[in-house]
Amino acid sequence: MKRLPGSTIRWLCAASILAAAGGAAAQGYPVKPMRMIVPSAPGGSVDTLARIVAQKMTDSLRQQVVVENRSGSGGVVGTALVAKAAPAGYTLLMAYGSHVINPSLYRKLPYETVRDFAPITQVAVQPLMVNIHPSLPARSVKELIALARKRPGELNYGSAGSGSGGHLATEILGMMAQIKMVHVPYKGSAPAMFDVVAGNTQLMIATLITSLPHVRSGRLLGIGVTSARRSPIAPDVPTVAETIPGYEVVVSYFLLAPAGTPQEIISALNGAAVKALKQPDVVERLARDGAAPVANSAAETGRYIADEIVKWGKAVKAAGAQSD
């Protein structure tokens, strides 16, 4: 029988010890309260979603899951905190769209978006809506594209800022439809929406929950949703994909843990989160905001994040967006 080299034996022993430690850590987990970091201010869609999921996970895991808001730099501050946390399952991240945009938007991040996190599940997706001011001579995505081609570089659109989801969703639309419009960035979605309602800008792509009050009042026209299927809360609004096949842009939410978190703990967290997202009251609550639960596996979430980084990277490059 061939003897193994001493270095190999030492590596195998170390691996066995780490595996045993991971198993021991998972036994009886969780034994203390957890915190779910939301890398944005209180009151927004990601904060609301985090609090819904955290409460249900508290009930399931029998330990409190406390939501903690750590906003700043487009989600970078809170995300960095989780990346540096102990990989023991007691600090989680409720990430959102900026998580897959920031790797292309920022020259340097204090973490590696894929390497430094362990996916738990994709929590939900939320489509956006293409809104135009009624004064614009278009009543559909097809007519908007025709108008933009007839008047290249004359139409303008507002967004919550350079590199925001609405900005990049419009750039992707422009790339796929081969049209060029002028971007007018604002410091937040509220002032951007105010100006398109006032007619100071001509269109804006924003979340359904932000768009629908203005559409239903007649102040704006909702001409397309950005998901692959029509939204249940706006079934009369066509998808953009009905005019531009293959167009799909949604805001995604992910539950992540620090890299190195034992697989047994990831599995326990995935089970609790998926159970929460499948409860009828949660599905109904998300639907009111135009969102839909995903509740997939950790592996599927990891693949989705990698694909989204590539997709949004192309949009950032096309838009010429950059943040320091």
244's tokens: 């531009």
Judge if 33-126+252-319 and 127-242 fold alike in CATH terms: yes
> What confidence tens digit (pLDDT) does each residue in 48-69 have?
899 999 999 999 999 999 999 9
**pLDDT the model gives residue 6:** 52
Task: Taking residues 310-321, report their average pLDDT.
Answer: 86
Task: Report d(CA 312, CA 12) in Å as an integer.
Answer: 40
HEC string of 76-121 equals HHHHHHHHCCCCCCCEEEEECCHHHHHHHHECCCCCCCCCCEEEEE
Q: What is the pLDDT of residues 278-313, one digit of tens each?
A: 999 999 999 888 889 999 999 999 999 999 999 889
CATH class of the domain whose range is 127-242: alpha beta
pLDDT at 160: 84
Question: Average of pLDDT values for 141-161?
Answer: 95
Report the predicted TM-score, pTM, of the whole model to 2 decimal places.
0.80
β-pair type (91-95, 250-258) = antiparallel
Instruction: Indicate the Cα dihedral angle 202, 205, 208, 211, nearest 10°.
Output: -20
Question: Tokens 């950790």 map to which residue?
Answer: 298
- Check pLDDT > 60 for residue 18: no
Q: What are the pLDDT digits (tens) for 198-221?
A: 999 999 999 888 899 999 999 999
CATH number of 33-126+252-319: 3.40.190.150
As a whole number, mean pLDDT of residues 122-129 equals 95
pLDDT-derived band at 258 (thresholds 50, 70, 90) equals: very high
Alpha carbons 89 and 283: distance in angstroms, whole number? 25
Spans of all domains in the chain: 33-126+252-319, 127-242
Identify the pLDDT of residue 65.
98
What is the rounded CA–CA span in Å between residue 76 and residue 73? 5
